[in-house]
Amino acid sequence: MKTFELVGTPRSEYGKKAAKSFRKENLVPCNLYGNGENVTFTVTVDDVRKLIYTPDTMAVALTIGEAKKMAVVKELQFHPVSEQLLHIDFLEVTEDKPVTVAIPVQLQGHAEGVKAGGKLALEMKKLKVNGIYTQIPNRVEIDVTNLGLGKKLYVGEIKLEGLKLMNPADSCVARVKATRASQQAAAADAKGKKK
């Protein structure tokens, strides 16, 4: 997992009024949870842009005042209309306590079913994994080379060393859908074999 450096400013003002005034100053109110304490702080929108708008999952090296903590993004809140970043919740992580995070899925290889005229569909863009944060990869890379036409790849078939997948084992991650062209080709092929 990549590490992202972030500096926060401790805050002592709370509530909707304080949050509005922070946002007017281009600041994002944040909370850090973990180890029995809750730390409140603000960061600038520019400082978190590369953390928020990336496909990768990152560990965050937080510096809040004098304190240094490692964390992961737990939750992001955006305005429903303007999509302005409103709030970030961080979860403190340590090297001895497992954490659950969602990491992006990246399909690799040219599926057999696609060669037969099918269309590859990624059904789950992210997978929830549980493990020590230093062992969690930036993304889950899945080889779909052997995925045939009409076949599905399930969570239960994916193995990640040192990590536990938290999604249901029978959830479909990717599949090769039959297209009209592939169905017509299969029907023509079946007719040819009957002769």
Residue 42 lies in a domain: yes
One domain for residues 31 and 60: yes
Residue 65 is predicted with a pLDDT of 82
Residues with Cβ within 8 Å of residue 142, at least 6 apart in sequence = 105, 106, 107, 108, 153, 158, 173, 174
One domain for residues 89 and 106: no
Q: What is the pLDDT of residues 15-54, one digit of tens each?
A: 677 777 777 787 888 888 887 778 888 888 888 888 888 7
Residue 186 is predicted with a pLDDT of 60
Query: What is the spatial distance between Cα 80 and Cα 166, in angstroms, rounded to a whole number?
Result: 28
Q: What is the pLDDT of residues 98-124, one digit of tens each?
A: 888 888 999 999 988 888 888 999 999
Residue 181 is predicted with a pLDDT of 65
Please state the pTM of the whole predicted model.
0.72
One domain for residues 108 and 170: yes
Residue 23 lies in a domain: yes
Which residues constitute the domain of residue 166?
A: 100-190
One domain for residues 62 and 125: no
Task: Give the residue, 190 or 5, on which the prediction is more confident.
Answer: 5
Residue 174 is predicted with a pLDDT of 92
Residue 195 lies in a domain: no
What is the number of domains present in the chain? 2
One domain for residues 79 and 32: yes
